[in-house]
Chain A
Amino acid sequence: MPPKVDPTKCDGCQGESEPLCEQVCPGNLMTLHKETMKAIIRDKSDCWDCMTCTKACPRQAIQTVLQYQLAYFPGKLIPLVGTNSVTWTSIDCHGRVERFVMKTLVSGDDEDED
């Protein structure tokens, strides 16, 4: 299921010709709406839920709606991109929350642990 852009948070990357989501989308599906200057998805059926735009958005304005086979509303999968890790919060349709931290960079700073 496609990304959902929150128009109150999206600032169209401040009027740039190519917002960040448009640049990162591997399927070239994101674009700016000509009048509102907010990001929209061109073709929802082509999105394969890679969530790149969701992770990249500097204003955290994009959410990926989960496929109904995976979870009914209000099921959600939310990434939080840190400097050396990505954190995933999965909320299923019963409201159960699971959290995963994925290290993207090993800082090698763990040796001092006692």
Chain B
Amino acid sequence: MANSIGIFVCGCRGLVSDSIDLTLMEAELAKLKKSVGARVVHPWLCGDQGCETIRENIADRGLDCVILAGCPENVHGPLFDGLATGAGLASEMLLRLDIREGCAYPQRGSPDHSFRKAANLIRMWTARARLMKPFEEIKLPGYRAAVVAGGGLAGLTAALELAEAGINVTLIEKESFIGGNVARLNKVFPRMCDSNCGLTYLYSRIKDTGRARLMTLSEIVSLRGKAGRYEAGVVTRPRYIKEGICNGCGQCVKACPVEVPDRFNCGLGSHRAVQAPYPMDLAGAYLINREYCPEGCEACSRACPAGAIDLTQKAGETRINFGTMVVASGWSPYPVERVERLGFGVFPDVITNMQMERLAAENGPTGGGIICPGSGRKARRVVFIQCAGSRDVWHQGWCSSVCCTASIKQALYLRERDPGCRVYIFYNDIRTPGDYEDLYVRAQEAGVLFVRTNPAEVLADPSGGLKIIAEDTLTGRVIETTADLVVLAAGMTPAGDLMKVIEEEVVDRKSLLKYGLVGYSGYHTGHRQCFPMETAAQGIYFAGCAQGPMDMGGTALSALAASAKALKAAGREVIVSPHIAVVDKTGCDKCKRCLEECPYGVFHLDEEGFPVPDGLFCRGCHVCVGSCPRQCIVTQGFGLKQQAAMVSSRIKEIAPGEPVVIAFMCENDAYPAVLEAGRRGLRYPPNIHSIPVRCIGSVNMAVIKEGISAGVDGFLLAGCRSGECHYLSGSDRARERLDNLRETLNDMMIEPARVKFLSLGIDDASVFVREACEIVENLRAIGPSPFKNAIVI
């Protein structure tokens, strides 16, 4: 509790002092006595002299809380925060009160009104200041380790970043090779460089940190715990060949009788059940795909001169403890055989974009020659069909965002290698965002023909090739063309069973959907602007194409973002935001309403059945504070107690008989709209006293009720528009609670119009002004609050 409050009123070089008489204000301040240590009226506080005045007063009078009445909080924030900390005052103990945009500007020309309103606001802020305490640091325990699931570009980037930050990282990869789909690429747009070069560089840097452990052929099968303290079960498939003993002579491959489709080459070509390591396989040992082995066959074992083959190896399960996980499980191409008209799986010369990459790659099945897999001829006439299954309500509704550029890249290198090769791209719309437009232009200049069509159909041509029929949507004619090779741009689908593990064991999909954390594409997403990396599974962050379709640049960025988020959950001791909610167990009766209303589900029950929020993941929206029927969820700083003190601080009428209105304003959208109204010089009644709050959902109805019994005539609660709330459901909750309260007021024979909910966007200044005028008009008609004359017992 603050015992010596300093009140500083700034004239703002005339901006405030023109409408508010500062001499009168000095006399008014003298009336505030309890716990007030200094009262200063100054023409210009942010100037050198003003700052010195504040500094001197803090030092000389031992102030432990300071109210600066002047400009709004977003002006000169760092200046005053620095001033406070420099003078030994915690920055949260410096309260900013806006009497410029919120009082002097809208009441310009009526000095009496603006003076009285400013005096009221200072009175309210003094009541708040008396109950303020400096923040205490909150620390929580955790495991200082991270798991990165997926060894593709996103996984490697995240692993490197975490390892460099000093976190022990376990990198888990399902396949025997790292690099994922990127390792399969021939060239990387836009600079047409070699993908393996970047991957090798990334991995060597990870190894240099000495903090990363790579587990290939491994998958996470179980997961439990919570942020900061997770435990995963990881199953590792055996190689059946001992690393270190295998010398890579290749005798086993010659002996092996079984052919297996080549997974690295996306099904193009084949290898034996015992195979040489794929490119980017770092173990340097051969590998047996045991599921294809005929029973009892030991041909490879007999052939191996080094005795490296051990067919009795068993799958091993390891348990890993970690604090946080980056899920980079990547993507797989949409199974285009489901789009029957495109003939994939029927005609061998219809291939996907990824297969095209393998065909063109020098380490691919054809050694880099563009040979049609079916006919065996060199491809001289290639047709790309875009959006194979993408942007199609029957298949996957979303745009994968990279396929257009990928096809253009392939078309470019086809033309470059063989200028005689005819290349057509059949597209719906070409989407080449940002710089990639250059590639589009380059492709047009290189003679690639772009045809805007409705979905095409692929048929067999009597000549032995393929025939494509499509409607040219620019000319409206049906066109027919032949091709040696058809390349389908198969869209991105989230890959991996890990999603299932997370959804089943850590958070169920229903709650993911409830919290709006599954995008319409089925990808896991957070609130795109405010919390882009968040998921309902706390401590688990999605990166790369597990988060949404994106290109390699986007993947690297997303991995960096995910690792930055992961850092906060991977420490032995984690300092969390002081704004987290704390449940006061003496008041709690375990009704669990906070569990229901928390927009992020951060509450769980402890051994005694009391709800406890997970401090690492509480976002400090304080919606639980608003929900608690026992008012026992407390927060540091500005909370329920301070709000109650403010509304019951005996706010005076602006003029005799005028209603007193208190407006709680969401500080994200509604309050900026109020400031904007002031800046634009819009006039609204001085009866409105605005209090900015973190989220309108944090206002407990008990505060409103307290205000009503204290004789406040009306309340205005302004939040974001439904669906735009930064904390997902805060403004909807507030509206719902207010509707209930309104009915009770009706029962009590109090006019329900005294309380009003308002949805404001950040630019709704004029809406605010209109509504403010309306509620004040209404209240004037209704008359003063009946509680002004209530019997106080």
Chains A and B form a bound pair: yes
Contact segment of B153-161, B362-370, B645-653, B763-771: B645-653
Chain B residues 750-793 with CB under 8 Å of chain A are: 750, 786-787, 790-793
List of B residues within 8 angstroms of A59 by Cβ? 740
Contact A99 B787 (CB under 8 A): yes
Contact B793 A100 (CB under 8 A): yes
Contact A84 B648 (CB under 8 A): yes
B702 within 8 A of A: yes
Contact B708 A87 (CB under 8 A): yes
List of A residues within 8 angstroms of B627 by Cβ? 58
Chain A residues 1-32 with CB under 8 Å of chain B are: 9, 13-14, 16, 18-20, 23-24
Within the complex, which residue of A60, A83, A114 is in contact with B703, where a contact is CB–CB below 8 Å? A83
Contact A112 B33 (CB under 8 A): yes
Interface CB pairs A-B, < 8 A, 28: A14-B593, A16-B591, A18-B590, A20-B591, A20-B629, A23-B589, A56-B629, A58-B627, A58-B629, A60-B743, A60-B744, A63-B747, A78-B748, A80-B744, A83-B640, A83-B700, A84-B706, A87-B705, A87-B787, A99-B786, A99-B787, A101-B709, A101-B793, A102-B793, A109-B130, A109-B648, A111-B33, A114-B31
Contact A112 B32 (CB under 8 A): yes
Nearest Cβ in chain B — how far from A26, in angstroms? 13
Within the complex, which residue of A61, A63, A87, A113 is in contact with B709, where a contact is CB–CB below 8 Å? A87
Chain A residues 71-93 with CB under 8 Å of chain B are: 76, 78, 80-85, 87, 89, 91
List of A residues within 8 angstroms of B108 by Cβ? none
| Known A20-B629, A24-B589, A109-B649; contact A84-B705, beta-carbon cutoff 8 A | no
Nearest Cβ in chain B — how far from A95, in angstroms? 8
Contact A83 B644 (CB under 8 A): yes
List of A residues within 8 angstroms of B747 by Cβ? 63, 76, 78
Docked Cα-Cα span, A30 to B747, in Å, equals 23
Docked Cα-Cα span, A114 to B706, in Å, equals 22
Nearest Cβ in chain A — how far from B257, in angstroms? 61
B34 within 8 A of A: yes
Contact A89 B749 (CB under 8 A): yes
Docked Cα-Cα span, A85 to B792, in Å, equals 10
Q: A87-B790, A100-B792, A101-B709 are in contact. List 8 more A-B contacts (CB 8 A).
A: A9-B743, A85-B706, A100-B790, A101-B787, A101-B792, A103-B792, A103-B793, A112-B31
B641 within 8 A of A: yes
Contact A112 B709 (CB under 8 A): no
By beta carbon, the residue of chain A nearest B749 is: A97
B741 within 8 A of A: yes
By beta carbon, the residue of chain A nearest B707 is: A82
B127 within 8 A of A: yes
B123 within 8 A of A: yes
Contact A101 B702 (CB under 8 A): no
B592 within 8 A of A: yes
| Known A80-B705, A87-B787; contact A60-B740, beta-carbon cutoff 8 A | yes
List of A residues within 8 angstroms of B705 by Cβ? 80-83, 87
Interface residues of A (CB under 8 A from B): 9, 13-14, 16, 18-20, 23-24, 56-61, 63, 76, 78, 80-85, 87, 89, 91, 97-103, 107, 109-114
Nearest Cβ in chain A — how far from B742, in angstroms? 10
Docked Cα-Cα span, A110 to B709, in Å, equals 16
Contact A112 B34 (CB under 8 A): yes
List of A residues within 8 angstroms of B750 by Cβ? 89
List of B residues within 8 angstroms of A98 by Cβ? 791
Docked Cα-Cα span, A18 to B591, in Å, equals 7
| Known A20-B629, A56-B629; contact A81-B702, beta-carbon cutoff 8 A | yes
B631 within 8 A of A: yes
Per-residue CB contact flags for chain B residues 115-147 toward chain A (1 = under 8 Å, else 0) read: 000000001001100100000000000000000
Docked Cα-Cα span, A59 to B593, in Å, equals 11
By beta carbon, the residue of chain A nearest B703 is: A83
List of B residues within 8 angstroms of A78 by Cβ? 744, 747-748
Number of cross-chain contacts by CB at 8 Å = 122
B side interface size, CB within 8 A: 47
Docked Cα-Cα span, A45 to B644, in Å, equals 38
| Known A80-B708, A100-B793, A101-B793; contact A13-B740, beta-carbon cutoff 8 A | no
List of A residues within 8 angstroms of B592 by Cβ? 13-14, 16
Q: Which of A19, A60, A78, A80 has the most CB of B within 10 A?
A: A80
Docked Cα-Cα span, A23 to B630, in Å, equals 12
List of A residues within 8 angstroms of B740 by Cβ? 9, 59-61
Contact B706 A83 (CB under 8 A): yes
Contact A83 B591 (CB under 8 A): no
Chain B residues 416-458 with CB under 8 Å of chain A are: none
List of B residues within 8 angstroms of A9 by Cβ? 740, 743
B26 within 8 A of A: no
Contact A99 B791 (CB under 8 A): yes
B596 within 8 A of A: yes
By beta carbon, the residue of chain B nearest A16 is: B592
Q: Which 6 A-B pairs have the closest CB atoms?
A: A82-B706, A58-B629, A83-B644, A87-B709, A99-B790, A89-B748
Docked Cα-Cα span, A97 to B702, in Å, equals 22
List of B residues within 8 angstroms of A112 by Cβ? 31-34, 123, 126
Contact B648 A107 (CB under 8 A): yes
List of B residues within 8 angstroms of A100 by Cβ? 790-793
Contact A109 B645 (CB under 8 A): yes
Nearest Cβ in chain A — how far from B38, in angstroms? 16
By beta carbon, the residue of chain A nearest B123 is: A112
List of A residues within 8 angstroms of B593 by Cβ? 13-14, 20, 58
Q: Which of A19, A24, A112 has the most CB of B within 10 A?
A: A112
List of A residues within 8 angstroms of B33 by Cβ? 111-112
| Known A9-B743, A80-B748, A85-B709; contact A101-B589, beta-carbon cutoff 8 A | no
Nearest Cβ in chain A — how far from B655, in angstroms? 18
Within the complex, which residue of B640, B641, B649, B709 is in contact with A80, where a contact is CB–CB below 8 Å? B709
Docked Cα-Cα span, A77 to B644, in Å, equals 24
Docked Cα-Cα span, A107 to B709, in Å, equals 14
List of A residues within 8 angstroms of B589 by Cβ? 20, 23-24
Contact A111 B31 (CB under 8 A): no
Nearest Cβ in chain B — how far from A87, in angstroms? 4
Docked Cα-Cα span, A31 to B462, in Å, equals 78
Nearest Cβ in chain A — how far from B146, in angstroms? 35
Nearest Cβ in chain B — how far from A28, in angstroms? 14
By beta carbon, the residue of chain B nearest A97 is: B749
Contact A83 B749 (CB under 8 A): no
Docked Cα-Cα span, A114 to B31, in Å, equals 7
List of B residues within 8 angstroms of A102 by Cβ? 792-793
Nearest Cβ in chain B — how far from A8, in angstroms? 9
Docked Cα-Cα span, A78 to B743, in Å, equals 12
List of A residues within 8 angstroms of B709 by Cβ? 80, 82, 85, 87, 101
